[in-house]
Structures are given as structure tokens and as C-alpha cells.
Structure 1
């Protein structure tokens, strides 16, 4: 409970009136001055006592069941208008990672039964985020005091990666533009699953004709095939310190996680299984492959609270751990940022994984380095920077070549383009029969 500005002003005026009394030296005026002070004291105490007995406003906070990182979400606070005093100050104890919520703010009771305040909250970090109690600073009836009224409203809400793009049409497996510029290898026949029988269409090969069904119906009947299903996609996420670097508003690990989730979503839509493993992190985690479009919820709940650690990346140990969990043939997608010192460790990991799986290494390129290669050189320092970057890129290309010779598939792209690139490669491998 604290004095309001009005009470402080009254006290200041009362104290100022004491100055003329020093010069007038009038006993009657001094008595009157003290009497006024006593009246102010009694009234203020009664006003404060009434405020202390006043119940807290009836209010509740309404939150979404889950939040997305770096995306604004509306937080609604509903207060009973009858219990809300005019000029009440609201200060919600929300997480402190968003300084643009507009709180604290003053609210007045609405004419309706409920007074609603909506403010935006934009989480900056994945994982569980905690909201505290609702805090109201209620003015007294005469406006001489403010009292803090706290309403219990503690809750924890999960902050997931920005999964709004999971439904983006740009990554829909049905879009044929993903295959533009690429030559699809024809199937050999053993890599296709039978789907159904149908009438013969012009252009069907002779091997597609089902002669027994044709003889029974006395018309040409063809077999229709579909891409093989129930295959496995295993995502290996590097949880070491190399992906902790900031890339825009997110970290490299956040971008890697988004790419992994989008690839998993595409695989689940294709009726394949998707699983994930985090290695070199503070909390190593293994999520067994799941199937069905509801499986994305399983992956989101299992990965949303992970963050990069300060450990160095250990690829060979991660490969051994993965083989302990799964030896059934799968597409293993290793998402990391390659460095030259990874050569021996990474080659050992690829050799282990290649015995059982098809391996795809996704190398994350920094946008600044990609832009640097296109920047004109204007001075000596710029030339040194470009030369140093060119040497690093040359070493990176040599490592890519060695990985390809070891039997791994390699792709290198920026964090923003990685989701579409991995999805494109997955669909290409599936269509070509290599899975």
C-alpha cells in the first residue's frame, strides 16, 4: 500500500501553510493549522482502512495452449467490471523477454459485465515459459492511496518452434516444382509398392498389365504403383556449441530444429516414419520413429525445450549411439555446421552409419559468408577478409568431396533455405527409389 499523488499534494500544501505562521506568530492560526492536519490524517487513515478491506478484482488470464517462438500472441485479461475501480493500474507478471507488451497500463471498468484487456506477447526463446500472478494497483475511494491486490494466476506454457510454416504450401510434397531442374531416375520395379488395379491408360508399359485380371474382365487392366511407404527418416541434430551462433533473430540451432521438424512433417505426410536424436547436448535425447500426421505433435513435444550446449560436437559417438537405437535401414539426416577439424571424426561417423543407413549431411552456411563472396573488394582489409573466407570455403568443399567419396550425400545451404532444400532432397530420394 502506498500514498497516491493526491495525498502527497495535500500534505505538501499543508506543510507549506506552516511557513506564514512562523512570521505571524498567531496561536489561533497555529491551532487551526494543526486541526487541519488532524482532519487530513483521520480522513486519509479511514480511506486507507477502507481500501485494505476492499476485495481484489475478480480477474483471469487467458493464454493460448502453446506459443511459437518469435511470433506475437494475444494475452487476454478479463476482469469483472463490477469489481474494477476506475483508474486501476494493471501489471501482469509475464516473462521478461518482451519489452513491448505495453504494460503496466491503467484500465477503467467497461459498461459490459466484463472488462477485457488484450496485450501482445512475443516469446524470444523456446521451452517452458512461466507467467506469474496478476497484479492490480487499486485506488482508494477518495484517491488518497493505492493498494496492491495480487490474484494467483501462475502457469507454465510451452513455447514451440515456429511451426506455422508446417502448413505452408511452399513445402507441400504435392507441388511438382520441387523437382524442376532435376532428372528423376526410373524405378526398376522392385522398389515400388502395389496400390491398386485400374483400367489400362495409353502410355502404360507392358510390365504394368495384369494379364490374369485382363483375361477375367476381357479388357486391359494395369497395376498402379505408389511410392514405398513405412520407411524411416532419422534426424540427427547437433546440440554442440557450434550451432549456438545467432542467425538473425534465432540461433543456428533454432534454424536446424525448424528444418528437422519440417522434414519430419513432410515424411509423415508421405506415410513414412520420422524420429530424431540430439547429440553433444546437455540433454541427449532419442525420439523413436513415429508414423501418422499426429506424430508431429510427438516430435514437437520432445524437441521444443532443447537448446545448444557448450560441448564440442562428437560425431563418431553420436553414430554409435544411433546404431544402438536403430539398425533398420533409414535416411539419416545429420544437420550441423561443418568445420575443417571435423574431418577424421566425421569420416568415422559416416563409415559407421553407411553400413546400415543412407546418410545425408546438411551443412549450414552462414548468410554473411554467402554474401561476402558476392561483395566487391574496395580496400585492403576487405581483400584479406575475402581471401580468408575463400580459403575456408575451399577447405569446406574438400571436406564435402571426401564425404561424398565415403558414400554420404552432402548439401550445403543457408539456414533460411535449409527446410526447403532438405525436403526437396528427401522427395527426390523417395521418387528415385534410393530409400
Structure 2
């Protein structure tokens, strides 16, 4: 409990009255001054005692069951109006990573049964986030004191990667290839799954005609095929320090994780299986492949709390660990940021994985380096930066070439473009029959 502004003003006024009493030197006025001080003290004590007996408001906090990083979410606080004094100050103990919630704020009871306040909360980091109790500063009846009353509301809420793009049409697994500008090559017939028989359509090849069904029905019947299902996509996430660098409002690891989850979502919609592995992190993690569109919840729950470590990336060890977990043929997507010193370690890892899997290496390019390639040179320092970026890019291209010669597929793109790029390549590989 602390004194309110009104009480401090009364005390200051009472103390100020003592100044003229010094000059008047009147015993009666001094006694009256002391009596006034005693009256203020008694009234203040009674007002404070009444406040201490006042219960905390009946309130609750309503949160979403899960939050997305860097996305604003509404947090609602409901208070019973008959338990809320006018001029109450609310200070919710929310996580301190968002300074723009607008709290603390004053609450006045509404005419309805419930008084409701909604404020936005925008988490800045994935993983479990903790909300504390609700904190109210209640004014006394005469507004001489304010007392802090807490309402138990502590809880933990998971903060997932930004999965709002999971339903974006630009990444829809069934439509992306139509707008990619690339012509998909049809399968040769091997590796295609039979779907159903149907009437012959103009343009069907002779190999599609089912002659036995045609003879029975005395009309041309064609076989209809569909893409193979139940294939595996294994996502290898680099949890080392190289992806800890900030890229915009997120880290490189956050961008890599978003790309991995969007690719997994695309694979699950295609009725394939998707699994994930984190390597070189503080807590290496293996999530076995799952199937069905509900499998994305399994992957989200298994990956949302991961963060990059301070360890160096060990690709060879990661490849051996993956082969212990799964030897069934799969598309292994390694998401990292390549460096020249990775050459020998990465080549060894690709050689191991290629014995059982199709390997796709996704190299994350920093937007700043991409901008340097198109930057105008105005001074000597700028020229040095452009030359250094060009040399680094040349070494990166040489490493990409060696990886392709070793049998790996390689793609290099910026973090913002990586989700769409990986999804496009996955669909191309699936429809070309290489999986």
C-alpha cells in the first residue's frame, strides 16, 4: 500500500499552514493546527484500514492456446464490474519482450456485468513464454491510498514459429507449380501409382489404355495414375552458431525453421511423410516421419522451442546420426549457411547420405551480400567490400559445383525466398519421379 496523490497534497497543505503560525505565535492556532493534523491522520488511517480489508477484483486473463513469434495476439482481461472500484490501475505481468502493450492503464467499471480490456502482445522469441499474476492498484474510498492486489493467473503459453503462412495460396502444394514458370516433365510410367479406371479422353496415350477393360465394356477405357504417396521428406536443421545471425526481425535459424515447416506442410498435403532432425544444437532432436495433415502439429510441438547454439556445425556427425535413424530412401533437405571451410566435412556427409537418400542442400544467402553484388561503388572502402563479397560468392559457387558433382542437389536463396524455393523443388522432384 502506498499514499495517493491526494493524501500527499493534504499533508503538504497541513505542513504549509505551519509557516504563518511561526509569525503569529498564537497558542490557540498552534493547538488548532495540531488538531487538524490529528484529524487528517485518523481519517487517513481509517481510509487505509478499509482498503486493506477490500478483496481483490474477480478477474481472469484469456489467452490464445498458442502464439506465433513476431505476430500480435489479443490478450483479454475480464473483471466483474461490481468488484472493480473506479480508477483502478491494471498492470498485467506479461513477458517483458513487448514494450508496446499499452499497460499499465486505468480501468473503470462498465455498466455490464463484466468489464473487459483487450491489449496486443507480440512475442519476439519462440519457446515457452510465461505470464504472471494480474496486478491491480485499487484506490481507497477517499482516494488517499492505493493498494496492490494480485489475482492468481500465472500460466505458460507456447510461442510457435510464424505458421500464418501455412495456408497461403502462394505456397499451396497443389498450385505452386502452375505459376512457377517451369514446365514439369511427365513421368515415364515407372513409379506411378494406379488410381482408377475411366473413360478414354482425347490425348490419352496408347499405353494408358486398359485393353481387358476395353474388351469387357466395348468402349475405350484408360488407366488414371497419381503421384506416388507415402514417400519421405527428412529435414536436417543446422542448429550451430552460423544461423544465429539476425536477418531482419528474426534470426537465420528462425527463417530456416519456417522454411522447413512450410516444406513439411506441403509434403503432408501430398500424403507424404515428413520428419526432422536438429544437429549441432544444445539439444539434438530427432522427430520420426509422420503422415497426415495433423502431423504438422507434431512437428510444431517438437521444434517450436529450438534455438541455435554456440557449437560449430558438424555435418559428418549429423549424417551418421541420420543414417542410424532412417535408411529408407527419402529426400533429405539440409538447411544451413555454407562456408568455405565446410568443404571436406560437407563432402563426406553428402557421400554418406547419397548411398541411401536423395540429398538437397539449401544454402541460405544473406540479403546484405546479395545487395552488395548490385551496389554502386563510390569510394575505396566500398570497392573493397564489393570485391570481398565477389570473392566469397565465387568460393561459394565452387563449393556448390563440387556438391553437385558429388550427387547432391543445391539451391541458394535468401531467407525470404527459401520457403517457396524449397517447396517448388520438392514438387518438381516428386512429379519428375526422382523421389
Does the pair score TM above 0.5?
Answer: yes
Equivalent position of 1:195 in the other structure: 195
Q: 1:176 to 1:319 in 2, by over 3 A?
A: closer
The residue number in structure 1 matching 2:230 is 230
C-alpha distance in 1 between matches for 2:177 and 2:261: 21
Determine the C-alpha separation between the residues in 1 that align with 2:177 and 2:209.
Answer: 30
Q: Matched residue of 1:149: which SS?
A: strand
Tell me if the contact between 1:240 and 1:313 (Cα under 8 Å) persists in the aligned partners: yes
Residue 58 of structure 1, CA deviation = 0.5
C-alpha distance in structure 1 between counterparts of 2:298 and 2:173, whole Å? 21
User: Corresponding residue for 1:247?
Assistant: 247
Shift in Å at residue 104 of structure 1? 0.4
1:19 aligned residue: 19
Q: Give the aligned partner of residue 58 of structure 1.
A: 58
Q: Please say if residues 278 and 285 of structure 2, whose CA atoms lie closer than 8 Å, have aligned partners that are also in contact.
A: yes
* Post-superposition offset of 1:176: 5.3
TM-score in terms of structure 2 length: 0.99
Distance 1:310 1:389, change over 3 A: same
Residue 174 (structure 1) shift:
1.9
Q: Give runs of ≥4 in structure 1 deviating > 4 Å.
A: 176-179
Contact 2:177–2:424 under 8 Å retained in 1: no
**Residue 429 of structure 2 aligns to a residue in which SS?**
helix
1:116 aligns with 2:100: no
Partner of 2:385: 385
- Partner of 1:74 in structure 2? 74
**Structure 1 228/324 Cα, relative in aligned 2: closer, same or farther at 3 Å?**
same
Return closer, same or farther for 1:67/1:248 CA change in 2, 3 Å cut-off. same
Q: 1:357 matched to which residue of 2?
A: 357
Aligned residues: 435
| 1:373–1:386 contact (8 Å) kept in structure 2 | yes
| Alignment-derived partner of residue 317 in structure 1 | 317
1:389-404 matched pairs, under 5 angstroms: 389-404=389-404
- Distance in 2 (CA, whole Å) between partners of 1:372 and 1:82 is 63
**Closer, same or farther: CA 405–72 of 1 in aligned 2, 3 Å:** same
Q: Distance in 2 between matches of 1:276 and 1:401?
A: 26
Gaps of 5+ in 2: none
Give the match for residue 171 of structure 1.
Answer: 171
* 2:263 equivalent in structure 1: 263
Deviations 1:4-38 (A, max 9, x none): 00000000000111111111111100100000000
With normalisation by structure 1, the TM-score equals 0.99
- Unaligned runs of 5+ residues in structure 1 are none
In 2, are the aligned partners of 1:179 and 1:424 still within 8 Å (CA)? no
CA RMSD of aligned residues (A): 0.8
Deviations 1:166-204, CA, capped at 9 Å, x for gaps: 000001122155564434333121210000000000111
Which deviates further from its counterpart, 179-188 or 76-85? 179-188
The corresponding residue for 2:279 is: 279
Give the whole-Å Cα distance in 2 for the aligned partners of 1:190 and 1:340.
Answer: 39
For 1:130-209, list aligned pairs within 5 A. Answer: 130-175=130-175, 177-178=177-178, 180-209=180-209
